[in-house]
Amino acid sequence: MIGRFPEVPGRVGGQAMALEEEIKLTVPEAGVLEAVLADPEVRRRASGPWRTRPFLAIYYDTPQRELLAHRLAFRARRVEDQWWAGLKGHGGVVDGVSRREEWEARFPGPIERFSQLPPGELRERVLAVVSADSPLERLLTTAINRRVLELDLEEGCRVELALDQGTIAAGARQRDLCEVELERLAGPLTPMIRFGRELADRHRLTPARLSKFHQGLELLGVL
């Protein structure tokens, strides 16, 4: 039986709902990531060193795709040697900032049925729209190498800057992924929006048309 898991500092934990606020930017070519890495303004704002993390995320639904019908995305994500269950809910994009409800809970490893989710709000949200005995059916997989840096911006705004490079695979189809993300950790939102626009101007970055999940759905032909 999977139990309740403790909160992880700086991330969603304890299954309380959080509002994820981030800017996703598409990179024209992989070499641009190195230019962002060396950007003088990025270096000036850094509050610590770059960290590199491998990310593997597997998105699931029921065979009837009931979660998708309710505009929900469920994933099992491995960060280093730790697995997380995640649920993303309704949201939208305003002023280039993506806002979505998000729940996360740590668990020992892959599960076969939604009834095996740990007790808490994430499980309740999922089981409100699917049967507890519903099996998990894989929709798509993202495998990326992420470089992460925390930035201190104006007015006490603290942001996580992530450089992602990897692949999205769905069925027999696959595409390369190369993007920059800015996620607000604390403080007002306006400084992050301003910094994102300046970074985009300097490095020819463009607002991402689709999230990683929706890019996978596009590969599946269901978007």
Tens-digit pLDDT string for the chain (223 aa): 222 222 233 333 445 567 789 999 999 999 999 999 999 999 999 999 999 989 899 999 999 999 999 999 999 988 777 888 899 987 777 667 888 888 988 887 778 889 888 888 999 999 999 998 899 999 999 999 999 999 999 999 999 999 999 999 998 999 999 999 999 999 999 999 999 999 999 999 999 988 899 999 999 988 7
- The values of phi and psi at residue 69, to 5°, are -65, -25
The pair of structure tokens assigned to 158 is 């603290």
The CA distance from 22 to 98, in Å, is 5
What pLDDT does residue 17 have? 64
In the chain the domains, ranked by start, together with CATH numbers, are 18-220 (2.40.320.10)
Q: Which residues contact 79 (CB under 8 A, 6 or more apart)?
A: 53, 55
What pLDDT does residue 153 have? 98
Residue whose C-alpha is closest to residue 86's, from 50, 126, 48:
126
Angstrom CA distances, 27 to 71, 169, 213, stand at 27, 19, 17
Q: In one letter, which amino acid is 170?
A: A
What pLDDT does residue 16 have? 57
pTM (2 d.p.): 0.84
What pLDDT does residue 106 have? 85
What pLDDT does residue 19 have? 77
What pLDDT does residue 111 have? 80
Residue whose C-alpha is closest to residue 11's, from 124, 102, 75:
102
What pLDDT does residue 50 have? 95
Q: Cα 20 from chain centroid?
A: 9
What pLDDT does residue 146 have? 95
What pLDDT does residue 183 have? 95
What pLDDT does residue 174 have? 96
What pLDDT does residue 116 have? 87
The CA distance from 105 to 172, in Å, is 30
